[in-house]
Each structure stands twice: as C-alpha cells, then as structure tokens.
Structure 1
Amino acid sequence: MKITIVAGARPNFMKIAPIVRAIEAAQAQGKRIFYRLVYTGTERDSSLDASLFADLNMKGPDVYLGVNSNNSTELTAGIMIAFERELAENPAHVVLVVDDLTSTMSCAIVAKKQNIKVAHVVAGTRSFDMSMPKEVNRMITDGLSDYLFTAGMIANRNLNQSGTENEHVYYVGNILVDTIRYNRNRLLRPMWFSVLGLKEQNYILLTINRHALLANKANFKELLETLIEKANGMPIVAPLHSYVSDAIKEMQIKAPNLHLLLPQSYLTFGFLMNKAKAIVTDSGNVAEEATFLGIPCITLNTYAEHPETWKIGTNELVGENPSVLGETMDKLAKGEWKQGILPERWDGRTAERIVQILLNE
C-alpha cells in the first residue's frame, strides 16, 4: 500500500509524525506499506525551523510543492495543479490529509477526481459557522473522504447528522495526544527560563494566533489588561509571532510581568505548557494538549474543535469577553479549577489504530 501524506502548515506535522512512526513500525514487522510526505508550501517557509523535524523525530518532506499565496482561490488552484502533477509522477492508493486547511480540501479533491481513496485525520470537527473558511474546508473534505478518522464521539455525531455512512467513520482518538505523549520525556527546558526568574507551576503561558482576535484593538487591549491585572504579578510568558507581539507593543502596555518572546521550538514550547500554572490561548491544539497534561486552560474563543476539552477536560471557553476572562482568572487564583479527565482513546495509540485500519482495508 502506497500512502501520500499531505501537510499544508507547520501544525500539521505534529499530527503526521506519529502516523509516520506507526507506518515505519509496520514496515519493520514486514508489512508492505509505504509513505511519501508532501508539503504544499515552499522550502523557504520560515515556520519550518531547522529543529522541527528533529524535535518530532521524523524526516522532512519528500517533496515541496512550492505553492504560496494570500489569496485563498489562487492557493486552492495552485495546490490542485501541483498536487495533480505530484500524483501523476508518484501514484498512491490512499491520500491522507489532516485538519481543515485549504491544502487539506484541495488535495482531497484532486485525489478523489483521480479515483484515489482519501483518509481524513481529525474528521467531523465543526464550528457550524459557514463564514469560516476552515468550516467550508472541513465539510468538503469530510464529504469526499473514504476514511473519516475522528477524535471523539461528538465528531462522530456531527458526521452522523450530516448523513455520513457509519462504515466510513472510525473513532480512533486524538492524534495530537500521540505526539505530546511520545515527547513528554523529551521536552527541553529553555536556557532563558532561569534568566527570567521563572519557577515551575508559577507562571501563565499566553499564546495568540488568530488575526480576528487582534482586529478589535480596543477589546484585545482590554483582554490583555484583564489578564495582567488578574495575574497579580505572576509572570506571563508569551512566545508570539511578530505580528502579535508588534500589535501588543503598539498598545504601549507596560507590565514588568509580561514577557514577550519569539516563537519556541516544539520541545521547548511543550516544556512551557507542561510546567505552567495555567495557559491562556486561542488555539484548539493547545487546549487539547493542556487537557492531556492536566493544565488549566482558558481559551479566548466561543467554540473548540473538540468540545471534550471543556466538557470533561481542563479547558474553559471565555470567548473574547474581558469580564468572563476576569471571572475565570479569579477561579484559577482561588484554586477552584475543575478536575479534568482524559476523553476516551486519547491514549497515545491513535496512529497505530489508523495504520491498522488502512492495512486491514
């Protein structure tokens, strides 16, 4: 069996790494299964830092399609043309895509038009907001997929309600947990940790990525001011992309306990999550990892890709509401945070299940 695995952005590799390891383990057992890793972007992509693949203990992409555009239509068209050429030169039995990016949808369409089976990892997630490009990507990809690998029963229910046939849906667990569990003993304490005077379980980790959150500058500033006030002097460690840190600097917020840092390597960021008192984020992936690690997490969004993180995990949704953020921070300060539990099958064996299912088919 030949599998073409597609990545369209840095976070995809965190979910692909355990699948690659599971395939290689099957090969070592004599199974005839092979993979080719395709990255739809360019080799010059600055997000793919030199340490990424070493941190994840995987090799880099076999090919870079070299497509990059800020226009979603141009990006879709470019990826489809380049990926059609890739499949013509390197045929596959299955194209495996992850998440809900433009690349995910584009490569699924190309594969299906060539009568190649499509496997979608992290299928069935929904925001129920069709104004979100990612929601469109999810709907199309799920509709085309022959294998829908889900992380939880809520995703299964979403697919069932959309009319998806049950025989195509496989409840395998959360692939992201495979990665954080595999790397938990490999996490790296950053050299600057002691320089900043940080102590384990005595700082708040802040991550921000969504441009929509930054767009309302007045509200974003109020969110930050609330976080700083409620931290009550506790260090706030904020490894951020330049567009976010620049937006914060423009607000001229002066707080000695707010440490704006450059983005960190995977293993270093994992250490910061694992040793934080709490995490404030707008990332669904971070909330999932926090649930596995048992760290209190506050998400600045009104929904989570995996509602399990807030229904039974350590996550709380506060939207973009400074007042709700303040109330939630008060709960943290009083030691009244809920005791989260791990959702079923978030056990680090998701990739093994995926590969076994593909081999059985």
Structure 2
Amino acid sequence: MKITIIAGARPNFMKIAPIIRAINAAAKVGKNITYRLIYTGLKNDTDLDPSLFIDLDIAAPDAYLEIQSKNSIELAALILMAFDKELTNNPADVVLVVDDLTPTMSCAIVAKKHGAKVAHLVAGTRSFDMDMPKEVNRMITDGLADYLFTAGMIANRTLSQTGTDNKNIYYVGNILIDSIRYSRSKLIKPVWLSTLLPEKQEYILLTLNRRALLDNKKNLQNLISVICKSNLPIIAPLHPYVQDTLKKLQIDTTNLHILPPQGYLSFGYLLNNAKAIITDSGNVAEEATFLGIPCITLNNYAEHPETYRMGTNELVGEDPEALDRAMQLLLNKQWKTGEMPERWDGRTAERIIQILLDSEK
C-alpha cells in the first residue's frame, strides 16, 4: 500500500508524525506499506523551523509543492494543479489529508480524480457556520473521503446525521494525543525560563493566533487587561504579527511576558508545566484536556466539544466579562475536574494503520 500524506501548515505535522511512525513500525515487521510526505507550502517556510522534524522524530517532507497565496481560491487552484502533477508522477493507493485547510480539500479532490482513496484524519468536525471557509473545506473533504477517521462520538453522530455511510466512519481517537504522549518524556525546558521565573513561580500560558480576535483592538485590549489582573506571570510565546498587535495596545502591566514562538518540545514544556492556559487554539485546548490543566478558550466554538463537555476546557468567546468570571474560578481554585475522553490514549495512529492494512485484505 502506497500512502501519500498531505501537510498544509505547521500544525498538521503534529498529527501526521504519529501516522508516519506507525507506518514505519508496520513496515519494519514486514507489512507492505510505504508513505510519501508532501508539504503544499514553501520549502523555506519560516514556520517549518529545522528543529520541528527532529522534535517530532520524523523525516522532512519528500516533496514541497511550493504554493503560497493569501487568496483561498487562488491557493486552491494552484494546489489542484501542482498536486495533480505530483500524483501523476507518484501514484498512491491512499491520500491521507488532515483537518480542514484549503490544501486538505484541494488534495482530496485531486486524489478522487486520480482514483486514489481519500482518508480524512479528524473527520466530522463542524461549526455549522457556512460563513467559515473551513466549514466548506470540512464538508467537501468529508463528502469525498473513503475513510473518515474521527476523534469522538460527537463527530460520528454528525457524520451519520448528514448521510455518511457508517461503514466508512472509524472512531479512532484523537491523533494529537499520540504526539503528546510520545514527546512528554523528551520535553525541553526553555533556557530563559529560570531567569524569567527564578523561583519556579506558577504561570499562565497565553497563546493567540485567530485573526478575527486580533482585529477587534478595543475588545482585545479589554481581554488582555482582564488576564493581567491575575498578578500571575503571563508567558506568551507569540508569532511576530501577534506580538506587534499586542505592543500597539500599550497595556501597562509588568506580568505579561511576550516571547518569540517556541519549538515543539519547548512549547510542550511550557504547556505541561502551566498553572492554566488561555488560548484561542482548539489544538491547545485538546492538549490541556489530556494534561489535566485548566484551559480557557477565547472562542464560542471548539472542534472537539469533548474538551469542554468532559475535559478541563471552558469557552468564554471574546467576552471580557465571561473571561473575568472564568479567571475568578481559576484563581479561587474552583476549576472543574476534567476526565479523559474515550480513546484519547495515544494509540490512534496504530488503529488507523491497522484499518488501512485490513482494508486491503
């Protein structure tokens, strides 16, 4: 079985790495399985720091499509053409795509045109908001997929209710947890952390990335002010454009420490040792649930509702008052105790590869 794996952005690699390790393990015991890893972006993409593939214990991509565009329609069109050439030159039995990006949808379309089967990793997530470009990507990709690998029963129900054949739906668990469990013993303490917090102080980890949140400057200022009222150190490893946005707010505080983005293992250390996490990232909320760390998400929506229905996550939207109430619960040690969703056990990749191998029999 020849599998082509698609990555469209840095976060995809955290979910792809366990799949690659499971393929290598299967091949090592004599299974007829190989993979080819494709990154749809640029080879010199600054998001793909050299340490990423070392940290994840995988090889760098076999090929780069070298496509970049801020216009989603143009991006889709360019990827369609580039991936068509890639699959023509390197045919695959299965094309595995991840999440809900434009490259995810585009490569799924090309795969079906080439007669390859499509495996969608993290299928069945929905916001039910058709104004979200990612929602369109999800629906198209799920509609084309031959294997729909889901992280929870909520996703299964969503797919069933929209007419997906149940025989194509596989509840395998959360692939992100595979990466956390694999890497947890190898986390790297950032060298600057002991200087910044010399007495091993408790801290809150803050991550921000969502453009809609950042564009509302006045509300963002109110949110950051609420966060900084805690008096705990706020460790905020942020991309340059987010740093610039926060600095322009000119918030007068001494406990907000804005830092550059961290490598995967260093960020994992900050995550693993935080008193609490405030984020707008679904992936970070999932990791927090696995680690049992209180998490406040600045969004009204979560890809995996399990994080707030069962786990340690709470959604406060972009509402400073809701954030303030959540912060009070956190600081008064009244945060709920989460529990682990079923099959978030670090063996998702093994299940996926076994299903693919069994389907060939």
Output the TM-score relative to the length of structure 2: 0.99
What is residue 25 of structure 1 aligned with on the other side? 25
Identity %: 67
CA shift in 2, pair 1:77/1:297, >3 Å: same
**Mapped partners of 1:79, 1:211: distance in 2:** 23
What is residue 302 of structure 2 aligned with on the other side? 304
Q: In the alignment, which of 213, 237, 240 is matched to residue 239 of structure 1?
A: 237
**Mapped partners of 2:5, 2:296: distance in 1:** 32
- Residue 70 of structure 1 aligns to a residue whose secondary structure is coil
Contact 2:194–2:200, Cα closer than 8 Å, also in 1: no
**Mapped partners of 2:263, 2:198: distance in 1:** 18
What is residue 85 of structure 2 aligned with on the other side? 85
**Mapped partners of 1:316, 1:324: distance in 2:** 10
Post-superposition CA distance 1:151-178 (Å, at most 9, x none): 0000001101110000000000000000
CA shift in 2, pair 1:278/1:108, >3 Å: same
Post-superposition CA distance 1:268-309 (Å, at most 9, x none): 000000000000000000000000011100000001000000
Contact 2:112–2:118, Cα closer than 8 Å, also in 1: yes
Contact 2:150–2:173, Cα closer than 8 Å, also in 1: yes
Contact 1:201–1:275, Cα closer than 8 Å, also in 2: no
What is residue 138 of structure 2 aligned with on the other side? 138
CA shift in 2, pair 1:198/1:108, >3 Å: farther
Instruction: Report how far residue 132 of structure 1 moved.
Output: 0.5
Amino acid at match of 1:178: D
**Mapped partners of 1:312, 1:251: distance in 2:** 35
Correspondence 1:69-84 to 2 at 5 A: 69-84=69-84
**Mapped partners of 1:303, 1:28: distance in 2:** 41
RMSD (CA atoms): 0.7
Instruction: Report how far residue 44 of structure 1 moved.
Output: 1.1
CA shift in 2, pair 1:195/1:170, >3 Å: same
What is residue 320 of structure 2 aligned with on the other side? 322
Correspondence 1:272-287 to 2 at 5 A: 272-287=270-285
Correspondence 1:1-361 to 2 at 5 A: 1-197=1-197, 200=200, 202-229=202-229, 231=230, 233-361=231-359
Amino acid at match of 1:47: D
**Mapped partners of 2:235, 2:197: distance in 1:** 11
Instruction: Report how far residue 19 of structure 1 moved.
Output: 0.2
CA shift in 2, pair 1:202/1:296, >3 Å: same
**Mapped partners of 2:319, 2:338: distance in 1:** 23
Instruction: Report how far residue 200 of structure 1 moved.
Output: 4.9
Amino acid at match of 2:45: D
Amino acid at match of 1:186: K
Aligned length: 359
- Residue 195 of structure 1 aligns to a residue whose secondary structure is helix
Instruction: Report how far residue 223 of structure 1 moved.
Output: 0.4
- Residue 194 of structure 1 aligns to a residue whose secondary structure is helix
Runs in 1 of length 4+ with deviation above 3 angstroms?
198-201
- Residue 37 of structure 1 aligns to a residue whose secondary structure is strand
**Mapped partners of 1:173, 1:129: distance in 2:** 24
Contact 1:98–1:120, Cα closer than 8 Å, also in 2: yes
**Mapped partners of 2:68, 2:344: distance in 1:** 34
- Residue 58 of structure 1 aligns to a residue whose secondary structure is coil
**Mapped partners of 2:59, 2:188: distance in 1:** 20
- Residue 3 of structure 1 aligns to a residue whose secondary structure is strand
Q: Structure 1: where are the runs of 5+ without partners?
A: none
